[in-house]
Chains A and B, each alone.
Chain A
Amino acid sequence: MAQRAEQHRASDSRGAISIADVTHGFDGESVLTDVSLSVDRGETLAVIGPSGTGKTTLLRLLSLFQRPDEGTVAIDGHDVWERPERDRLAARRRIGMVFQSANLFDGSVHGNVSYGLRIRRDWRDRLSGWVSALLGSEIEPQVERALAQVGLAENADRNVGSLSGGEAQRVAFARALAYDPDFLFLDEPTSDLDPRNTAVIEDAIDAAREDGLGVVIATHDMHQAERIADRVAVLLNGEVIELGPAERVFENPRDRRAQKFIDGELVY
């Protein structure tokens, strides 16, 4: 009951994104079952669990890629999927997402980082934006600031083909931050990175949280979750089996399977 209350803790508060009683699957097979959780602005929630347990599906539902089969996804207390398409687009534009792969567009670092800013203009502004781009654009400070946050301030003109894997992922992070989202969702963003690039990303996550973003990171690296998360959700076979403050979950998990997973044992 206490866990249930925790799950619904911020579901109707302002400045929060939440999912409630969400069940979702593919081809008749359930991936998530009755999942409820929320994240406030200014906090980091880590979703941990073994591979194939539904972490990516959960993040895609939070990012409004798909409507859940059952349950609700709400921002600031409003069920997003009950709103008109225009409102849903506005909601999506409050979210930044970084995937396990960088998924950069062909072209320059600048082109990637400025993309989110450019598509937020209407078509008339986009046309005038192309003109101002030739003269020096007003979006430059935002692009420069986002690149500086991941230590790539001097790299705007580089072609993405010349970036290392770590640099590419840092550009993907800057790209998601450039348009000042309220929420940032990260799907195992450092799983392919070396310790140095991982540290840069983790510092940027901390900075984003301090700037007031609500951050959800899916990871199977428990040490990373311990380092950066305020709260932790343990996901197993599509169910949230543990949810609470990071310190409490790692030191005194209530669920036996969560305890086993944290201890490094195989759980099913």
Chain B
Amino acid sequence: MIALEPTVLSLLGAFPFDRVYVESIIYVSLYVSLTAVVLSTLASIPIALGVGFTDFPGKGFVIAVINTGMGFPSVVVGLLVLFLVSNQGPLGPLDLVFTKEAMIISQFVLAFPVITGVTLAAVTSVEDGVRDAAYAMGGTRVDVALVTVKEARYGIATGILAGLGRAISEVGSVLIVGGNIASADGTAITRTLTTAIQLEARQGRFDTALILGAILVTIVLSINAIVLRLGGGRV
């Protein structure tokens, strides 16, 4: 491993890109997407449990909205978030335009319906008998919810990783609300792997674009491998 390290570094040095530039792009991509997915997960699981196990007027409509959101065009989300954070928008005073925080909001909106929809399907597929057993043994509502989440954990993990895949491979909304900005010293500020690929390709630097594309594909493939591994044919 120690002997390999100089070899790997020398190989990286041979590639036609600025290593600091690429590392900062990877950092921005992962920071924005992981933060958005963590926040989406925290919101999605209670909402999926609430929708799944509560009867209320308009429940079918809520489920339809969640399912529609799973395929919502990302550029439209970007546009709506831009209105939200622009000077005239309700979040205007926070001065979020072209910041990572605005990108996190847009990716939150994109990941939320994916995670909620898959989690909803997972928790509602937990057999009634299992929840009945937890209740019959003296479980509170929280105990029953925790048992349900534990039983549905593979499906929920699949939803989270699917949300991460949707967020990290998305280009339209982060381009609109983030602005694809890099600083003068060559480090990314709001530039992600997807927006950088779009920029490098448009400027004719296909070698750099391909390298960035390979990194993105590797990350997305890794996410899918984890999904398959966790699913194990059960989800």
Contacts and interface: CB of A to CB of B under 8 A. Distances in A.
Chain B, interface size category, equals 10 to 19
B20 to A, nearest CB: 44
B137 A116 contact: yes
Interface size class of A (residues with CB under 8 A): 20 to 34
Contacts of A169: none
B138 A93 contact: yes
Contact of A120 (B127, B133, B138, B151): B138
B147 interface: yes
A65 B137 contact: no
Contact of B138 (A65, A89, A99, A105): A89
Contacts of B57: none
Contacts of A120: 138
Interface string B107-140: 0000000000000000000010110111111111
Contact of B151 (A105, A119, A176): A105
Given A103-B129, A105-B150, A105-B151, A119 B135 contact: no
Nearest to A172: B133
Interface in B127-177: 127, 129-130, 132-140, 143, 147, 150-151
Contact of A97 (B127, B136, B140, B143): B136
B134, B137, B150, B151 pick with most chain A CB within 10 angstroms: B137
A93 B134 CA distance: 11
Contacts of B137: 96-97, 115-116, 119, 175-176, 179
B54 to A, nearest CB: 16
Interface in A97-111: 97, 99, 101, 103-106
Given A105-B147, A106-B151, A179 B138 contact: yes
A67 to B, nearest CB: 14
B133 A89 contact: no
A106 B138 contact: no
Interface of A, secondary structure class, is: loop
A119 B138 contact: yes
Most buried by A among B127, B139, B147, B150: B139
A101 B147 CA distance: 17
B138 A63 contact: no
Given A105-B147, A119-B143, A65 B135 contact: yes
A93 B135 CA distance: 9
Contacts of B135: 65, 92
Nearest to A85: B140
B125 to A, nearest CB: 13
B138 A103 contact: no
B143 A99 contact: no
A105 B139 CA distance: 14
Most A Cβ at <10 Å: residue of B134, B135, B136, B150: B136
Contacts of B129: 99, 101, 103
A97 B134 CA distance: 10
Given A99-B133, A103-B129, A92 B147 contact: no
Contacts of A176: 136-137
A89 B139 CA distance: 8
15 contacts: A65-B132, A65-B136, A89-B138, A89-B140, A95-B138, A96-B137, A97-B133, A99-B129, A103-B133, A105-B133, A105-B147, A115-B134, A116-B137, A119-B140, A179-B138
Q: What are the 4 closest A-B residue pairs judged by CB atoms, nearest first?
A: A93-B138, A103-B129, A97-B136, A116-B137
Given A65-B136, A96-B136, A99-B132, 6 more contacts: A103-B129, A105-B151, A116-B137, A119-B137, A119-B138, A175-B137
Interface of B: 127, 129-130, 132-140, 143, 147, 150-151
